[in-house]
Amino acid sequence: MDRTHVVLPAEDIRRQKDFIDRLASIYCRREHPPMAMVDTYGCQQNVADSQRLMGMLRDMGCRFTGDPLAADLIVVNTCAIRENAEKKVFGVVGQLVHVKEKNPEAIICLCGCMAQQEVVAERIRRSYRHVDLIFGPQALWRFPELLYGVYTRRERIFSIADEHGSIAEGLPVVRESGVKAWVSIMYGCNNFCSYCIVPYVRGRERSREPAAILAEVRELAEAGCREITLLGQNVNSYGKDLDVPMDFADLLREIDQIPGDYLLRFMTSHPKDAGEKLFCAMAECSHAARQLHLPVQSGSSRVLKAMNRGYTREQYLEKVRMARTAMPDIVLTSDIIIGFPGETEAEAMETISLVEEVRYDALFTFIYSPRPGTPAAKLPDPVSRGEKQVWFDRLLDAQNRISAELHRVYVGKTLRVLVDGESGDPSWPLSSRTHGGRLVHLKGDTSLIGQYADAHITGSNTWALFGEAAGGPAPIYK
């Protein structure tokens, strides 16, 4: 696909701004400003997408609420990665019928990855008649136009055409805090791991122009943002579709030149494309956090092949060795799927042995969930859910023990942390993160929020560290 067809012309975005203005003039005739609720499920990309939707809603004149019964407009941004996520959303959307009963003028929208699936759209069309607008991730930038259509045409609108996907620059945004921000560097995925629905719902890989990313990061750094997370389904594919020769490691180095007191994180990094060049760039970039999320999915080379992951167990372990050679203090995390169709007990135990060998700081663990339309969903899956659960629990026991052991090593040390908010626990009122991304519950004053602090670590458990803020904030990531 030609790049000029991927990056949307400024004119297309201006047209959407016209629709925002038209909606604003509809809303300003009302007695009260409309209340909007954006309910987000799933990954950080969805969180970032919701921040754009909120930016458009804010510019239409909306205020925000977390109470569906107080809302005039509800947007449910959905996730399709596992069946559980979908079930939850159907439950939530079912309940919204009461909103419509109380306020028949309320508008209900469903977007995100679930919305992009034909079967889901059909079910909404037939059985959830209170949903007015449904649109997939590729149509997000056209939300103002679609919403305007709902008001003026007084009919339900479905915009879920299977699109390659484009890049929309300059959409408004509401950031959740001034401390942390998400910056998408690319969209879509071309990897087609055999269990995964993402490539079918988020379109083909497309990279934002480096200049656009650099401008966004510069703006955030100048505004005092302390933590910037670069997002992509596979950030290591960054640049493959650009006209200029640039990959993710090059991009990281360019971003690192931007002055400011911020940390750079990124996710997700596919092991098949991660290597020496990236690890050296991370080690040499002073803003880059010592944290690497490197999803392995399985420790069995046979299962990895069936998953279409593009690496063997040994090749993965070699990448981990490379990363640790470049950055001995790197905090490593991973995603793992237990119970892929045809996986045997011995193969699941190979995954646990890999976990024991790598000793991750933390894991995100999942039991395989068949996704209709993916190749894995057609494979025979003879192992019972109960048996998969037993393997899964063994994996959790192993990881919980390892996390607790690794966390214990921090006790007695003083670490630089970024205080990012309140914890809700009066004994440890602040929540903060280490350079490597470990959670620290902190005693200290709320005036530290948004600042770096030195934390003296006094305790730990499997999931977090506990500490006391010592001394005042002092910037180090220059």
Binding mask 182-221 for ligand 5AD (x = CB under 6 A): -------------xx-------------------------
Select the residue interacting with ligand SF4 from 45, 51, 233, 236 (CB under 6 A): 233
Is there binding between residue 192 and ligand SF4 (CB under 6 A)? Answer: yes
Q: Is 431 helix (H, G, I), strand (E, B) or coil?
A: strand
Q: Which is nearer to ligand SF4, 187 or 392 (CB)?
A: 187
Q: Closest distance between ligand 5AD and the C-beta of residue 301, in Å? A: 17
Residue count at the site for ligand SF4 (CB under 6 A)?
Answer: 10
Check residue 318 for interaction with ligand 5AD (CB under 6 A).
no
Query: Considering only CA atoms, which of 200, 202, 120, 130 is closest in space to residue 166?
Result: 202
Q: Which amino acid is at 75?
A: V
Tokens coding 106? 């309320």
- Give 43 or 111: the residue with its C-beta nearer to ligand 5AD: 43
Q: How many residues bind ligand 5AD (CB under 6 A)?
A: 12
Q: Which option in ligand SF4, ligand 5AD, none does residue 192 bind, with CB closer than 5 to 8 A by kind?
A: ligand SF4
CB atoms within 10 A of CB 217: 24
Closest CB to ligand 5AD among 15 and 305?
A: 305
Say whether residue 189 binds ligand SF4 (CB under 6 A): yes
C-beta of 195: minimal distance to ligand 5AD in Å? 4
| Partner interacting with residue 199 (select from ligand 5AD, ligand SF4, none; CB below 5-8 Å by kind) | ligand SF4
Q: Look at residues 343, 334, 359 and name the one whose alpha carbon lies nearest to residue 391.
A: 343
Q: Residue from 260, 271, 295, 341 that binds ligand 5AD (CB under 6 A)?
A: 295
- Binding part of the chain for ligand SF4, among 55-63, 99-107, 190-198, 417-425 by CB under 6 A, reads 190-198
For the purposes of burial, counting CB atoms within 10 Å of the CB of 361, is it exposed (0-12), middle (13-18) or buried (19 or more)? buried
Residues 288/281, Cβ–Cβ less than 8 Å: yes
Binding part of the chain for ligand SF4, among 45-53, 145-153, 193-201, 394-402 by CB under 6 A, reads: 193-201
Under rule CB under 6 A, residue 199 binds ligand SF4: yes
Q: Provide the strand spans (E) within 261-343.
A: 263-267, 291-293, 331-338
Q: Which does 234 bind (CB under 5 to 8 A by kind): ligand 5AD, ligand SF4, none?
A: ligand SF4
Q: Shortest gap between Cβ of 220 and ligand SF4 (angstroms)? A: 25
Scan residues 348-407 and list those touching ligand 5AD (CB under 6 A). 366, 368-369, 371
Question: Are 433 and 467 contacting, i.e. CB atoms less than 8 angstroms apart?
Answer: no
Token code pair at residue 148: 């305007």
The amino acid sitting at 54 is M
C-beta contacts of 208-216 below 8 A and 24+ residues apart: 208/167, 208/169, 208/184, 209/7, 209/167, 209/169, 209/242, 210/242, 210/244, 210/246, 210/251, 210/254, 212/169, 213/183, 213/185, 213/251, 213/255, 214/254, 214/255, 214/258, 216/183
Q: Cα angle at 193 between 279 and 116, to 5 degrees? A: 115
Would you tell me which residues interact with ligand 5AD (CB under 6 A)?
Answer: 81-82, 195-196, 295, 297, 335, 337, 366, 368-369, 371
Q: Which residues contribute to the site for ligand SF4 (CB under 6 A)?
A: 189, 191-193, 196, 198-199, 233-234, 270
